[in-house]
Amino acid sequence: AQRVTQPEKLLSVFKGAPVELKCNYSYSGSPELFWYVQYSRQRLQLLLRHISRESIKGFTADLNKGETSFHLKKPFAQEEDSAMYYCALRGPGPSYDKVIFGPGTSLSVIP
Amino acid sequence: EAGVTQFPSHSVIEKGQTVTLRCDPISGHDNLYWYRRVMGKEIKFLLHFVKESKQDESGMPNNRFLAERTGGTYSTLKVQPAELEDSGVYFCASSQGGRELFFGSGTQLSVL
């Protein structure tokens, strides 16, 4: 069964420190991976997707099929990065466009 | 372009009552999803519409939940009768062509 896990419920880092939010998935196939973010009082929104291989707001994520991971990284955390981060996957199958989410990690950047 | 809109933003009802949540997706988006977040936990998939058809409703918890999508436009999610464990935030999202999901602001449902 497809599943997304995020081992850290809460993560606190100091401003300027590197940050890594972990995401692992299980899926019998080749899913498409995403990171969604919800800032305070805002809607859940897409941060980045693995197929675009781009850096958004200084964040990057590399899909590691061997380790079935899609960790989100940023070299220097900023206060405005404080938010709830969700890893998500979408995969082929009877419901190709079904997107499931991990439990989320709350990131707090300490000034 | 108007985003995904959800009504109401908050609903407080008593156990046993009925509540209907509404979602208006972005115009032209064929895919519409309902999700639920309970007690700050993970966002659980409820169901997925493609136009007016239910593509996947494997996440619907039980037959007290009924979702419809009229003419492939807006969607409603009815809970009847509501139970305490139904409390949470119900999110709607839409997409086109399997691209990114656009989320509504959510409906905070409290069942007392």
What tens digit of pLDDT does each residue of B37-95 get?
987 678 999 999 999 999 889 899 999 999 999 888 999 999 999 999 999 999 999 99
Residue with token string 């941060």: A47
- Identify the bridge partners of residue A85 per DSSP, sorted by sequence position: A37, A105
- Indicate yes or no: CB of A99 within 8 angstroms of CB of B101: yes
Residue B27 vs residues A98, B20, B22, B96: alpha-carbon distances, Å: 20, 21, 15, 10
Interface test with A, best of B34, B45, B101 (most A CBs within 10 A): B101
| Shortest alpha-carbon distance between residue B4 and chain A (Å) | 10
Q: How confident is the model at residue B98 (pLDDT cuts 50, 70, 90)?
A: low
The DSSP 8-state label assigned to residue B57 in this structure reads: -
- Indicate yes or no: CB of A97 within 8 angstroms of CB of B35: no
- Identify the bridge partners of residue B48 per DSSP, sorted by sequence position: B33, B56
pLDDT, average across residues B10-25: 97
Which residues in chain A have Cβ-Cβ distances shorter than 8 Å to B95?
97
**How many cross-chain Cβ pairs, A to B, lie less than 8 Å apart?**
49
Nearest CA in chain A to B5: A43
Residues 6+ apart with CB under 8 A from A30: A65, A91, A92
- Determine the pLDDT at residue A109: 97
- Indicate yes or no: CB of B45 within 8 angstroms of CB of A98: yes
Burial A56-88 (b: 16+ CB within 10 A, else e): eeebebebeeeeebbbbebeebeeebbbbbbbb
Nearest CA in chain A to B41: A103
pLDDT (tens digit per residue) in A29-50 = 778 899 999 999 999 999 998 8
Query: Residue A52 — left, alpha, or beta (φ > 0 → left; ψ -120 to 50 → alpha)?
Result: alpha
Burial B18-51 (b: 16+ CB within 10 A, else e): ebebbbbbbeebbbbbbbbbeeeebbbbbbbbbe
